[in-house]
Structure 1
Amino acid sequence: MKDHTLSPPRDAVDTILAQWRRERPDLDVSPMGPIGRIKRCAALLEQQLEAGFAEFDLSVWEFDMLAALRRSGAPYCLSPTELFSTLMVTSGTMTHRLKRLEARRWVARVPNAQDARSTLVQLTADGLALIERAVEAHVDNERTMLSVLPADVLRDLDAQLSHLLRALEPSNHGADATPAS
Structure 2
Amino acid sequence: MEDSIDRHIAYWSRELADLDPDVEGAITRMQTLVALLRRRREAALKARRLKGWEYDVLWRLRSAGPPYQATPTWLAQALDAHPATLTSRLDRLEESGYLTRAHDPSDRRRLLVALTDKGHAAWEATIGDQAAAEHALLAPLTGDELAQLSALLRKVAAAAEAEGPPLMPPVERP
TM-score interval (norm. to shorter): 0.7 to 0.9
- Residues of 1 paired with 2:9 and 2:25: CA distance? 7
Q: CA deviation at 1:43?
A: 0.5
Q: CA deviation at 1:125?
A: 2.5
1:5 corresponds to which residue? none
Pair 1:171 & 2:162 matched: no
1:21 corresponds to which residue? 13
Larger helix proportion, structure 1 or 2? 2
Q: Which amino acid aligns with 1:83?
A: L
1:82 corresponds to which residue? 74
2:58 corresponds to which residue? 66
Specify whether residues 102 and 145 from structure 1 end up closer, same or farther in structure 2 by C-alpha distance, changes over 3 A only: same
- Number of equivalent positions: 164
Q: Which runs of no fewer than 5 residues in structure 2 stay unpaired? A: 168-174
Pair 1:148 & 2:140 matched: yes
Specify whether residues 52 and 149 from structure 1 end up closer, same or farther in structure 2 by C-alpha distance, changes over 3 A only: farther
Q: Given the two structures, how large is their TM-score scaled by the length of structure 2?
A: 0.76
Specify whether residues 75 and 55 from structure 1 end up closer, same or farther in structure 2 by C-alpha distance, changes over 3 A only: same
Equivalent runs, 1:1-181 vs 2, <5 Å: 8-11=1-4, 13-25=5-17, 27-30=18-21, 31-169=23-161, 170-171=164-165
**Is the 2:12–2:19 contact (alpha carbons within 8 Å) kept by the matching residues of 1?**
no
Specify whether residues 160 and 132 from structure 1 end up closer, same or farther in structure 2 by C-alpha distance, changes over 3 A only: same
**Is the 1:20–1:29 contact (alpha carbons within 8 Å) kept by the matching residues of 2?**
no
> Where has structure 1 moved over 6 Å in runs of 4 or more?
none
- Residues of 1 paired with 2:117 and 2:136: CA distance? 29
Higher alpha-carbon Rg: 1
Of 150-159 and 106-115, the range deviating more from structure 2:
106-115
Q: CA deviation at 1:59?
A: 2.5
Structure with greater contact order relative to length (CA < 8 Å, sep ≥ 6): 2
**Is the 1:109–1:121 contact (alpha carbons within 8 Å) kept by the matching residues of 2?**
yes
- Residues of 2 paired with 1:151 and 1:90: CA distance? 42
Q: Which amino acid aligns with 2:34?
A: A
Question: Alpha-carbon deviations, 1:63-88, whole Å to 9, x = none?
Answer: 23212212322221012233233334
Q: CA deviation at 1:121?
A: 1.5
CA RMSD across the alignment: 2.6
2:172 corresponds to which residue? none
Percent identity for Structure 1 against Structure 2: 33
